[in-house]
A and B are shown apart, each in its own frame.
Chain A
C-alpha cells in the first residue's frame, strides 16, 4: 500500500512541479516587462493641455497596466483559473483547451497571476534603489548601462530576493489549486485514497512532499540572502 501511495503521490508531485516550473519560467520575465510597463512615464497629454489640468500628468500605459495588475491581484487565482479553463467552452461553444489542454490552461492562468505579483516585487526593487545612486554614477561619468550593471542591479536583486522567496514558496502551495480543473496534482492524488480505501494518512504524506520542496527552496533563498548580506 505504501508503495502504491508513494508512486501515486510522486506522479502528483510531477504535475505540481510541471506547473511550478512553467509558471516560473514564463512569469519571471513577463513580470519584469509588466513592471516596466507600470513604470512607463509616457504622458502624451502634457503637450496639449495646461499644467493645471488633470490630464497633464496622465500616463495611459502605466494606468492601464496598473489597472490590470489591480484586477488580477484583487481576485482569487482559483476564480481566474475557472474562468480561463471553462470560459471559452461556455461563451464560444468551443473548448479551445481540447482534451490534453488542462495543464496548458492552468499554466496560462498561473503565469498571468504570478506575473502580476512578480511585477510588483520587481517594481519595489527597482524604485527602492535611491536616485542618488544613479546620480552618483552620472556625475562620475558612467554611462546609463554601466550604472545599471555596475551600481543598481545588485542593489535591486538584494531588495527583490526576500519578497520573491515568499512569493515562490506560496506558488509551491498554490499548485494545489490546479485540482479545481481536475489536474491530478499532489493533494488530489492523496485524497483519492481517502475515497477509495478510506485512509487519511496519504493526505498527511502529501504534506511531507510540500515541506520537502519548500524546505529546499528556503535553503536556496537564505543562501542567496546570505551571499548578498555583505552590504546594506
Chain B
C-alpha cells in the first residue's frame, strides 16, 4: 500500500487554475523529486499536502486513510486537521526557525506541546520530556550540529539553520517529509552541507518529497522524479528516465536550460 495517494488534486487562485488535477502516489522509503519551472505549481502541491492551502478538488490518502476529500463538505475540526497534518513534515525554503528559541528548543517545542495532550502526561511528565530531549539531541548530532544546541538561529549560518529546521521536522517522525527548495536561500558554498544531510536521509529510506532546482542532486538522491509544467504532471519516472531520456519535448527544453 502506498504511503501517499493523491487523486485529481486541483487548486485555483482568483480564477486561474494552478494545479490542474494531479494524480500521483508515493511508496514507503521513496524519495520523489518535483522539478519544473517557476510558477508551475510545485510549492502549491506541498502546501496542499500540508494543509496550508485547501485544494478545490481531490482526495489525499495517507497509508490508505483519507486525510482530505474535497467532496466531503462536513467541516473538519481544527484538531482533526492538526492530526492529519502530522503525517507530513515541511522544510521551508527560508527555514522559518523560531528566533527566540535555541536550536535545541526549536526541535523540542512542538513535541513538548503535543505531549501535553497525552493521557499519561501528568503521570509521566519527567520521562516524556527526557525522551523528547534525548531525541532532539540525537537529531542534532545526526545533523552534525551537536555543538550548536544552545545557539539561537541568528547565531547560525543559513546552512546550519536549515539543518536545524530539518531536525525540527524529523522530531515529530512524519510519514512523509516535504522539502521546498531547501537550498535555494543559501550561499552556494553552504548548499552542499544541506544536500548531504538530505542524501543521508534518503539512504536511510526516509519517505520524502523534494522540490529542487539542483538537477544533479535530484538525479542522485531520488527514486522517482516528477516534472510539473503549468500545473500538470507532464511526465514522471526514474531519475535516469527523466534526466537521460525524457519523453516529452517540453521536459528536454526545461532540462537543457540547466546545462550551459
Q: Say whether B152 contacts A231, CB under 8 Å.
A: yes
Contact residue among B86, B113, B153 (Cβ-Cβ distance under 8 Å from A146): B113
Q: With A132-B96, A136-B92 as given contacts, are A141 and B152 in contact (CB-CB < 8 Å)?
A: no
**B247 at interface by CB-CB < 8 Å:** no
Q: Please, how many angstroms separate the alpha-carbon atoms of A98 and B260 in the complex?
A: 84
Contact residue among A51, A133, A141, A143 (Cβ-Cβ distance under 8 Å from B86): A141
Contact residue among B92, B96, B100, B114 (Cβ-Cβ distance under 8 Å from A154): B100
Give a binary string over A136-172; 1 marks a CB under 8 Å from any B CB, 0 the rest. Answer: 1111111110100011001100000000000000000
**B109 at interface by CB-CB < 8 Å:** yes
Interface residues of A in 97-149 (CB under 8 A from B): 130, 132-133, 135-144, 146
Q: Say whether A141 contacts B89, CB under 8 Å.
A: no
Q: Please, how many angstroms separate the alpha-carbon atoms of A222 and B153 in the complex?
A: 23
Contact residue among A132, A141, A155 (Cβ-Cβ distance under 8 Å from B82): A141
Q: With A140-B168, A143-B78 as given contacts, are A135 and B52 in contact (CB-CB < 8 Å)?
A: yes
Interface residues of B in 57-110 (CB under 8 A from A): 78-79, 82-83, 85-86, 88-90, 92, 94, 96-101, 109-110
Q: With A230-B152, A232-B99 as given contacts, are A132 and B110 in contact (CB-CB < 8 Å)?
A: no
Q: Please, how many angstroms separate the alpha-carbon atoms of A144 and B89 in the complex?
A: 18
Q: Say whether B92 contacts A141, CB under 8 Å.
A: no
Shortest Cβ distance from B116 into A: residue: A146
**B50 at interface by CB-CB < 8 Å:** yes
Q: With A144-B78, A150-B113 as given contacts, are A231 and B100 in contact (CB-CB < 8 Å)?
A: yes
Q: Which residues of A contact B153 (CB under 8 A)?
A: 231-232
Q: Say whether A141 contacts B154, CB under 8 Å.
A: no
Contact residue among B78, B88, B99, B100 (Cβ-Cβ distance under 8 Å from A139): B88
Give a binary string over B15-26; 1 marks a CB under 8 Å from any A CB, 0 the rest. Answer: 100000000000
> Considering only CB atoms and an 8 Å cut-off, how many residues of chain A contact the other chain?
22
Q: With A51-B15, A154-B100 as given contacts, are A138 and B152 in contact (CB-CB < 8 Å)?
A: no
**B127 at interface by CB-CB < 8 Å:** no
Q: Say whether B99 contacts A155, CB under 8 Å.
A: yes
Q: Say whether A140 contacts B99, CB under 8 Å.
A: no
Q: How far is the CB of B119 from chain A (nearest CB, A)?
A: 17
Q: Please, how many angstroms separate the alpha-carbon atoms of A48 and B82 in the complex?
A: 32
Q: Please, how many angstroms separate the alpha-carbon atoms of A150 and B100 in the complex?
A: 9
**B14 at interface by CB-CB < 8 Å:** yes
Q: Which residues of A contact B86 (CB under 8 A)?
A: 141
Contact residue among A51, A130, A142, A230 (Cβ-Cβ distance under 8 Å from B96): A130
Q: Say whether B92 contacts A135, CB under 8 Å.
A: yes
Q: Which residues of A contact B98 (CB under 8 A)?
A: 133, 136, 151
Q: How far is the CB of B109 from chain A (nearest CB, A)?
A: 7
Q: Please, how many angstroms separate the alpha-carbon atoms of A144 and B85 in the complex?
A: 14
Interface residues of A in 192-232 (CB under 8 A from B): 230-232
**B35 at interface by CB-CB < 8 Å:** no
Q: Please, how many angstroms separate the alpha-carbon atoms of A140 and B112 in the complex?
A: 11
Q: Say whether A231 contacts B154, CB under 8 Å.
A: yes
Q: How far is the CB of B206 from chain A (nearest CB, A)?
A: 17
Q: Please, how many angstroms separate the alpha-carbon atoms of A138 and B83 in the complex?
A: 11
| Interchain Cβ contacts under 8 Å between A and B, 23 examples | A51-B15, A130-B96, A133-B98, A135-B52, A135-B96, A136-B97, A137-B110, A138-B85, A139-B85, A139-B88, A139-B90, A139-B169, A140-B169, A141-B83, A141-B110, A141-B172, A154-B100, A155-B100, A230-B100, A230-B152, A231-B99, A231-B152, A231-B154
Which of A's residues lie within 8 Å of B, judged by CB? 51, 130, 132-133, 135-144, 146, 150-151, 154-155, 230-232
- Give the top 4 A-B pairs by smallest Cβ distance, nearest first: A140-B110, A136-B96, A132-B96, A139-B90
